[in-house]
């Protein structure tokens, strides 16, 4: 007899995360830091409010496929939207609150957002966006108490909608291939690109996040997603926490390093995630206030940019494990993670740190290759350099309504990431640079990432970003932009002496610029396009 159709055909949708959180983990805490203190709830209440929210949206006329946007900090209300909007068949679109108003408006119009949920403390910023919107017909203000005076119209109070809507929403049966959410890239070159996620992709990503050798999120955790919910779905943590029964604590608008460090200490956080610049700032807080207790935190995922080796070492001295993650908006986002193989745990600590500073092993479900300039697939020899290309069940296959999409995917379906890497024989990926950030000097490549990490390992240096500047003789040379730690100064000669033992002479920057601050993108990465524009003349 044929062995087909033996398994139950159950759609993989985010309804599974909603139902499991409500039925199995109803008493597990969900909390948000607010100006009035910690606002505490649980999954049972969150799921009931999500059902009321879905009823309210249906009453507004929101239909399957309609885009519902958010302009908000990480919060319990934002989680309610994460659970309500996709599961009613609409598409959740998180707007980046840190972009210029004109860019936010361009993104909202491109996505054709129908309704926008705005946090009350962000009303002044969003009121600069609203006049430019073409498709948004209604606004909802999220906050406690009455709606502040606003130019938005028509406008509803979030809490009034919840109070006046039915908790008995009839959730539809959805196809797992339906869109559940969309995020836009940060637009470091050209207009941002819209990435649309399916229910299947995000549920599988959430399941992967619970694996022991990935994020290992479980019901034993108290998760703190510092990475914004508008940055690649907070790296999938909200849906993973709901599915897997982890408590979740949101920082709200309190995003300074001091606020985050205190929240970790007070709330006994076990798992957190953020870009490296956040952890650099928190390290400074720990140096100023050694009484801060981070002993509860078992692991941190840092990504969005290369994590400096010295940062991993500094946290390890405090008993905190930083795992370097790699991914993009297009990769769902997690594609690899720097977990040590068990056999490496017997290595000298120095060698262990070398592996932990890599982008690590691809997570289960993701396939990758490195492709050289000549189009050939590179070997796993720790030397062959090429662009990382990936494919898998939560890797995007196109951009929303964007003619540039064919440039980013190969004919056989691999995503061209634009990241250049080498892979060692154990399968560990080490990013060398972005293709656009490499310095080509005298026909040879120089990795800006390696130079940056080495410079930031100097005890007097807080941040460093390296860019290419024009050079008549060599075509390009590296320029190092350096920020010193408060109260410290460092010279070009000191930095050169610091680098000389580790790099060939032709790699060493001849030029340094000492800055008060490295410009950052809206998601906290070093904004090299600003630096390149500033120093374009060389």
Task: Tell me the percentage of the chain whose pLDDT exceeds 70.
Answer: 98
pLDDT in tens, 45-86: 999 999 999 999 999 999 999 999 999 999 999 999 999 999
Cα–Cα dist 306/277, whole Å: 10
Whether 242 maps to a domain, the answer reads no
Q: Of the residues 202, 221, 252, which one is the last residue of a structural domain?
A: 202
Q: Of the residues 183, 202, 221, which one is the last residue of a structural domain?
A: 202
User: What is residue 187's predicted lDDT score, i.e. its pLDDT?
Assistant: 57
Whether 139 maps to a domain, the answer reads yes
User: Residue 119 catalytic?
Assistant: no
pLDDT in tens, 462-509: 999 998 888 877 878 999 999 999 999 999 999 999 999 888 788 899
pLDDT in tens, 119-170: 999 999 999 999 999 999 999 999 999 999 999 999 999 999 999 999 999 9
Cα–Cα dist 444/508, whole Å: 13
User: What is residue 188's predicted lDDT score, i.e. its pLDDT?
Assistant: 52
User: Residue 440 catalytic?
Assistant: yes
Count of other CB atoms within 10 angstroms of residue 186: 23
Strands across the sheet containing 475-484:
461-471, 475-484, 511-514
User: What is residue 473's predicted lDDT score, i.e. its pLDDT?
Assistant: 77
Q: Give the model's confidence band at 234: pLDDT under 50 very low, under 70 low, under 90 confident, else very high.
A: very high
Q: Give the model's confidence band at 346: pLDDT under 50 very low, under 70 low, under 90 confident, else very high.
A: very high
Whether 415 maps to a domain, the answer reads no
Range of the domain at 529: 437-538
In total, how many domains does the chain have? 2
Q: Of the residues 184, 202, 220, which one is the last residue of a structural domain?
A: 202
Q: Which of 119, 330, 387, 450 is catalytic?
A: 330
Whether 505 maps to a domain, the answer reads yes
Q: What's 488's domain CATH number? A: 3.30.300.30
Mean pLDDT over the full length of the chain: 93
Q: Which of 32, 185, 329, 417 is catalytic?
A: 185
User: Residue 343 catalytic?
Assistant: no
Q: Which of 134, 445, 494, 510 is catalytic?
A: 445
pLDDT in tens, 279-333: 989 998 988 888 889 999 999 999 987 888 889 999 999 999 999 999 999 999 9
User: Residue 376 catalytic?
Assistant: no
User: What is residue 290's predicted lDDT score, i.e. its pLDDT?
Assistant: 82
Q: What does pTM read for this prediction?
A: 0.87
Whether 114 maps to a domain, the answer reads yes
Whether 381 maps to a domain, the answer reads no
Q: Cα 441 from chain centroid?
A: 32
Asked if residue 229 has pLDDT above 70, the reply is: yes
Q: What's 65's domain CATH number? A: 3.40.50.12780
User: What is residue 440's predicted lDDT score, i.e. its pLDDT?
Assistant: 77
State whether residue 325 is helix, strand or coil: strand
Q: Which residues pair with 272 in a beta bridge?
A: 224, 300
Whether 487 maps to a domain, the answer reads yes
Asked if residue 538 has pLDDT above 70, the reply is: no
User: What is residue 260's predicted lDDT score, i.e. its pLDDT?
Assistant: 97
User: What is residue 441's predicted lDDT score, i.e. its pLDDT?
Assistant: 81
Q: Are 358 and 338 in contact (CB under 8 A)?
A: yes
Q: Which of 234-243, 303-312, 400-409 has the lowest mean pLDDT?
A: 303-312
Percent composition of the chain: helix, strand, coil (DSSP 3-state, to 5):
30, 25, 45
Residue by residue, DSSP assigns 1-54 as ----S-S------THHHHHHHHHTSTTSEEEEEETTEEEEEEHHHHHHHHHHHH
Whether 10 maps to a domain, the answer reads no
Q: Which of 440, 491, 500, 510 is catalytic?
A: 440
């Amino acid at each position: 007899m044929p062995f087909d159709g033996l398994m139950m055909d159950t759609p993989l949708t985010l309804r599974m995360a909603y139902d499991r959180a409500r039925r199995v983990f109803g008493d597990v805490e969900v909390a948000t830091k607010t100006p009035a203190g910690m606002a505490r709830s649980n999954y049972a209440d969150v799921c009931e409010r999500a059902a009321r929210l879905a009823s309210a949206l249906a009453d507004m006329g929101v239909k399957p496929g309609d885009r519902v946007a958010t302009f908000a900090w990480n919060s319990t209300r934002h989680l309610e939207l994460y659970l309500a909007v996709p599961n009613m068949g609409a598409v959740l679109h998180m707007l980046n609150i840190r972009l210029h108003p004109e860019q936010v408006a361009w993104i909202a119009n491109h996505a054709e957002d129908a309704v926008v949920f705005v946090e009350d403390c962000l009303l002044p910023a969003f009121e600069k966006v609203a006049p430019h919107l073409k498709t948004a017909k209604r606004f909802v203000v999220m906050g406690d108490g009455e709606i502040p005076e606003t130019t938005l119209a028509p406008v509803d109070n979030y809490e009034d909608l919840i109070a006046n809507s039915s908790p008995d929403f009839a959730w539809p049966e959805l196809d797992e291939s339906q869109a559940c959410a969309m995020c836009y890239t940060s637009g470091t070159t050209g207009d941002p690109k819209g990435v649309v996620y399916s229910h299947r992709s995000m549920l599988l990503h959430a399941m992967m996040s619970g694996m022991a050798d990935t994020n290992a999120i479980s019901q034993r955790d108290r998760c703190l997603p510092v990475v914004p919910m508008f940055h690649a779905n907070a790296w999938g943590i909200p849906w993973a926490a709901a599915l897997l029964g982890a408590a979740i604590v949101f920082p709200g608008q309190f995003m300074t390093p001091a606020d985050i460090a205190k929240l970790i200490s007070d709330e006994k956080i076990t798992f957190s995630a953020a870009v490296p610049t956040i952890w650099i700032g928190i390290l400074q807080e720990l140096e100023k206030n050694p009484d801060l207790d981070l002993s509860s935190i078992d692991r941190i995922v840092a990504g969005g940019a290369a994590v400096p080796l010295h940062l991993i070492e500094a946290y390890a001295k405090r008993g905190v494990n930083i795992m370097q993650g790699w991914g993009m908006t297009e990769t769902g986002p997690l594609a690899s993670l720097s977990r040590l193989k068990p056999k490496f745990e017997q290595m000298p600590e120095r060698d262990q740190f070398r592996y932990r500073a890599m982008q690590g092993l691809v997570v289960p479900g993701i396939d990758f290759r490195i492709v050289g300039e000549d189009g050939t697939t590179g070997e796993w020899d720790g030397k062959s350099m090429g662009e990382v290309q990936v494919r898998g069940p939560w890797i995007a296959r196109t951009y929303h309504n964007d003619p540039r999409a064919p440039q980013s995917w190969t004919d056989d379906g691999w995503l061209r990431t634009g990241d250049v890497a080498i892979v060692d024989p154990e399968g560990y990926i080490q990013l060398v640079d972005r293709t656009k950030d490499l310095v080509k000097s005298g026909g040879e490549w120089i990795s800006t990432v390696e130079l940056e990490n080495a410079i930031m390992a100097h005890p007097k240096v807080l941040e460093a970003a390296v860019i290419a500047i024009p050079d008549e003789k060599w075509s390009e040379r590296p320029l190092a932009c350096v920020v010193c730690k408060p109260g410290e100064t460092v010279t070009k000669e000191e930095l050169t002496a610091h680098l000389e033992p580790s790099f060939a002479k032709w790699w060493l920057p001849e030029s340094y610029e000492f800055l008060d601050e490295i410009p950052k993108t809206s998601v906290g990465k070093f904004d090299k396009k600003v630096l390149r524009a500033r120093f374009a003349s060389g």
